[in-house]
Amino acid sequence: MSSTARGSASVAAAGAARGAGGVPRTNGRARAATSVSRGGPAAHVLHLARLADGLALLLAFPIAYEVKRRFLPSDLTNLYDPSVYFGPAALVATATLFALRRRGAYGAVTLLHRGRILGSVAIAVVQALVVAATAIFVFKLSHISRLFVGLYGLVAAALLVCVRLALRRWARRMRVSGTGAARVLMIGDGEPAARLARTLGEEALFGVTVVASLSGEALSRPVAAVREALGDDGSGAVPISPISELLRHEAIDEVAVAARGIGPAEIDRLVEACDREGVALHVALDAFGGSLARAHLSSLGGEPLLSVNPQTHSAWGRAVKRVIDLALAPLLVVLTSPLWLLAAVAIRLDSPGRVLFVQERIGLNKRRFRMFKFRSMFDGSEQVQPMLHPLNEADGPIFKLRDDPRVTRVGRWLRRFDVDELPQLLNVIAGDMSLVGPRPMLPGEITGFEPWQRKRFSMPPGITGLWQVSNRLGQNFLDGLRADLDYVDRWSLGLDARILLRTLPAVLRDRVAP
């Protein structure tokens, strides 16, 4: 029983999850897996493509030199000895090869599509030319002909495209005929196995042929059952792993595991059997259950770790968000300092007590922190709140009262324009909060949270956010939580900017501050 899988998408990695995590990245002892180690006759073709690229870049030099010398106008043909241009050409060639590798130009998905071939080569050569032009400018190499460097890049691009188109034509013929396809033993059934087979085929230059599809139980079934799956009615049971027996007697290039519920002991036996026969092994992390669907291989202190992070946000984006907080928060403190002074004086003159009100709130990953606000209520008003609960006008654990008798005269003005929240800029500078984020919750407000509601704590709380800018007295508590979760799921720097732009109009509208 066999089938051939062909297509045009990309495989994530051997033993890696499909999805936002992408290809596993490793450091140190956990080797980086920028591509999947493949078996079969085509396993080394992509390395030959790199050699062909190197030869094309070498050949481009004499062609570009002769074209400039023979065919360009006489006033443009003043060239030095060819050795003068070896350096710039080598720089362009090296940068081009590096850019091609970085862009995944040696993957089957790129090499099998004409548009991607043209795009990857064009972008790589342009990037290399920018590097060369920058070097010529920085080191003041005025004697180097810019025209020649550009012409070399153009010729190199043409030759690289020709190499790839020739490889593409050959590979497509091989895929159609099935000649050279990697022979894959699939362990698993149903849609997960079909998806993995499809993906492996799409990333194999010559495609794959699934020689047998076995269930996960095959790891412990007798050899006879495995041979039956192959249509082999020869004698079976011997005291040896059935997969090992199969690998010993069948031409198999790769073993792919997509069955769920595979334990560490079975994986160890598979690794040992495949290593003994020199066969590549791919294990989808789905085989260990959905909890590892977004796992990636990393390294900590040289120790390889399989890590699962529910956050799909860009680490760079989060870093930029923090930089923006550190840049804007001190600036806003300076710009609003007259309001700070006026508020402090007004609070002291209006009622006895401290100027700042400090309250414990829940922050990133449920860390507790002390949040600062200008005091807008009479001192000791928290002790009176239980008596006012029957008058609460908000649902859920949040307490809201439009005409709260605890609010001072100055406090009403501070709340009306959110001036009472300005001290939270100090929390932003300290790293406890962000300018934009989920609403900072009180400890008592989260005691009854459902599991799906706790994801909101994966982002630092913000002075403003989707919940805050849309808040109204009587707004459904669950709607506010959904707004926070929507922010966490859709977070981007652009979304932060839009929320900041909506904050001032929201402040000017009549609303009750959270």
Tell me the pLDDT tens digit for each residue of 155-173: 999 999 999 999 999 989 8
Q: Which residues of 470-493 are buried (b: 16+ CB within 10 A; e: fewer)?
A: ebeeebeeeebbbbbbebbeebee
Evaluate whether residue 432 is within a structural domain: yes
Give the end of a domain, one of 241, 274, 308: 308
More confident residue, 116 or 228: 116
Note whether 268 and 287 are same-domain residues.
Answer: yes
The secondary structure element, H or E, covering residue 273 is helix 264-277
Is the domain of 375 the same as that of 474? yes
State which amino acid sits at residue 175.
R
Mean pLDDT of the chain: 79
Enter the pTM of the model: 0.54
Does residue 209 sit within a domain? Answer: yes
Residue 30 vs residue 441, higher pLDDT? 441
Of 5-9, 102-106, 363-367, the range with the lowest mean pLDDT is 5-9
Would residue 253 count as lying in a domain?
yes
Alpha-carbon distance of 127 to 99, in angstroms, equals: 7
CA of 296: how far to CAs of 38, 282, 317, in Å? 19, 14, 19
Clarify whether residues 366 and 496 are in a common domain: yes
Average pLDDT of the segment spanning 354-373: 93
User: How many percent of the chain have pLDDT more than 70?
Assistant: 79
CA distance 66 to 72: 10
The predicted pLDDT at position 33 comes to 39
Are both 192 and 258 inside the same structural domain? yes
pLDDT of residue 19: 33
Q: Residue 147: its pLDDT value, please?
A: 85
Asked, for residue 223, whether it belongs to a domain, the answer is: yes
Q: Is there a single domain that holds both residue 36 and residue 63?
A: no
What is the number of domains present in the chain? Answer: 3
Please state the three-class secondary structure of 297-321 as a single string: EEEECCEEEEEECCCCCCHHHHHHH
Where in the sequence is the domain holding 479, given as residue range(s)? 315-508
Write the pLDDT tens digit of every residue in 413-433.
998 888 999 999 999 999 999
Q: Is residue 189 part of a domain?
A: yes
Give the model's confidence band at 229: pLDDT under 50 very low, under 70 low, under 90 confident, else very high.
low
* Domain end point (choices 308, 333, 367): 308
Q: What is the pLDDT of residue 334?
A: 96
Residues 53 and 197 in one domain: no
Decide if 514 is inside a domain.
no
On whether both 502 and 397 belong to a single domain, the answer is yes
Residue 513 domain-assigned? no
- One domain for residues 105 and 199: no
Predicted confidence (pLDDT) at residue 314 exceeds the cutoff of 70: yes
Same structural domain, 401 and 363: yes
8-state DSSP, 107? S
In a domain? residue 365: yes
Mean pLDDT comparison of 12-21, 212-221, 258-267, highest-scoring range = 258-267
Query: In the block, which residue shows the tokens 């043209």?
Result: 118
pLDDT above 90 covers a percentage of the chain that reads 32
pLDDT in tens, 243-280: 777 787 788 888 998 887 777 777 888 888 888 888 88
Same domain, 189 and 145: no
Q: Are 255 and 14 in contact (CB under 8 A)?
A: no
Confidence band, pLDDT 50/70/90 cuts, at residue 80: low
Grade residue 15 by pLDDT with cuts at 50, 70 and 90. Answer: very low
pLDDT of residue 509: 65
> Higher pLDDT residue, 324 or 451?
324
Task: Return the pLDDT at 2.
Answer: 37
Contact 417, 507 (CB under 8 A): yes
Please tell me whether residues 184 and 168 are part of one structural domain. no
Q: Would you place residue 211 in the very low, low, confident or very high pLDDT band (cuts 50, 70, 90)?
A: confident
On the question of pLDDT at 148 being above 90, the answer is: no
- What contacts 119, CB < 8 A, 6 or more positions away? none
CB contact set of 431 (below 8 Å; sequence gap of 6+): 322, 460
Residue 409, pLDDT score: 92
145 and 186 housed in the same domain? no
Last residue of a domain, one of 147, 174, 201: 174
Q: Quick: pLDDT tens for 488-511.
A: 888 999 999 999 998 888 776 654
pLDDT at 514: 43
Where residue 61 falls among pLDDT bands split at 50, 70, 90?
very high
- CA dist 294 and 309 (Å) reads 7
Report residue 13's pLDDT band, with 50, 70 and 90 as the boundaries.
very low
Strands 208-214 and 254-257, by their bridges, are unpaired
